[in-house]
Amino acid sequence: MAKASKHKSALKEQDGVSQQETTNTSSIKAIKQKRKSQPTANDLVAEILKGNITALSRAITLIESKNTSHLEKANTIIKACLPHANQSIRIGITGVPGVGKSTFIEAFGKHLTAQNKKVAVLAIDPSSSLTKGSILGDKTRMEDLVKDKNAFIRPSPSGESLGGVARKTRETIILCEAAGFDTIIIETVGVGQSETAVHSMVDFFLLLKLAGAGDELQGIKRGIIEMADAIAINKADGDNLKKAKLAKVEFNRALHLYPKKESSWNPKVILCSALHNDGIDDIWKIIEEYIVLTSESGYLNQKRKDQNAFWLIQTIEEQLKGAFFNDSKIKEELQKQIQLIEADKTTPFAAADYLLSLNK
Ligand SMILES: Nc1nc2c(ncn2[C@@H]2O[C@H](COP(=O)(O)OP(=O)(O)O)[C@@H](O)[C@H]2O)c(=O)[nH]1
Ligand SMILES: [Mg+2]
């Protein structure tokens, strides 16, 4: 039963063009019919450039597909959209579960759409395949934003490695920008490596924190604090306000201990209450200030170039790895080498050299 509903939701997510569906013999005829009416890559590009959300969603579904022909089509679309991309502010938002990311994005997104901005919300959550429910939960927290015609919300692609999700999200950013979205928000849960991936694809990185959660002074997740361009202490309301004010002082003090950022931007600490819409405007003003400063200094442009170079290398690594491990001869030989290692007949290094030599 669980499996059946999973299958159903997978089909739904794939916009009716998934691989599973093609294997369902009873509907092959219907699919053939449907395929005929599938828009071409050029059709989709033309519609995306007009800001058509349905076309945008379809193209993203192609990016997320495992089907090679879909991926080829996706690549054609991305290439055509590329000259129209790059014109947005990309904001990464991270924080532990429950800190209020979804509530914040709802308030922040509404604040921006009220100024006639077009906001796309994407997520990087490699675990979302395990916790499908969280997407639904988030959508109900973003009830107003979901309905907003100037907002586009797309959950993280499921069933992917972090590398896979990150690549797909980067490609999705390009399509969203081509569709006229001027503010791209990328949300991730502050656990594991996903925030590093988000940091490497955004202009501005916002960390949401809670007051009194105990890690202010211990330097927990020092790396994340170091990446942040702003720390917003959320839930600064009611009984929590006093604690939040204290936490702000502590964070400001702690931030002084970090080396100055390459951007020459001084990270800011702010209080906010996503629930009561307090401090949201201030956070936007900080982001605007950052964009002005780093655009004028040339840092922003250079950062995006560096990020592109980084992703080029990442993509090559992913593809080489994928091609290597998916090769049937390698798969077979790998098993044999593992057995030899277990029997102490070879070393991991010799086995690696041998396997790599097969692939040349
Ligand atoms: N008091 C208060 N509660 C908040 C605030 N922001 C979020 N919450 C609550 O915290 C809980 C978790 O919020 P959610 O946005 O789902 O967090 P996420 O897991 O980080 O996406 C919900 O019950 C929210 O209503 C806030 O600013 N103040
Ligand atoms: Mg959430």
E strands, 128-243, are: 151-154, 183-189, 204-210, 230-234
Q: pLDDT higher for 254 or 122?
A: 122
> Looking at residues 316-329, what average pLDDT do you find?
89
Helices (H) and strands (E) in the chain, counts: 17, 7
Question: Which letter does DSSP use for residue 193 in this model?
Answer: T
226: pLDDT confidence band, cut at 50, 70 and 90?
A: confident
33: pLDDT confidence band, cut at 50, 70 and 90?
A: low
35: pLDDT confidence band, cut at 50, 70 and 90?
A: low
Nearest atom within ligand 1 for CA of residue 276:
27
Please list every protein residue whose CB sits less than 6 Å from any atom of ligand 1. Answer: 95, 97-103, 141, 234-235, 237, 273-275
Q: Whose CA is nearest to atom 24 of ligand 1?
A: 100
Q: Could you read off the pLDDT of 235-249 as tens digits, one per residue?
A: 999 999 999 999 999
pTM: 0.83
For residue 186, what are the contacts with CB-CB under 8 A and spacing of at least 6? Answer: 90, 91, 92, 93, 121, 122, 123, 124, 169, 173, 198, 201, 202
| Rounded distance from Cα 289 to ligand 2 centre (Å) | 27
For residue 33, what are the contacts with CB-CB under 8 A and spacing of at least 6? Answer: none
Measured in residues, the chain has a length of 360
Q: Whose CA is nearest to atom 6 of ligand 1?
A: 100
* pLDDT above 70: percentage of residues in the chain: 82
Of the residues 103, 104, 270, which should be mutated to test ligand 1's pocket, given the most ligand atoms within 8 Å of the CB?
103
Domains identified in the chain and CATH numbers: 38-84 (1.20.5.170), 85-296 (3.40.50.300), 309-358 (no CATH)
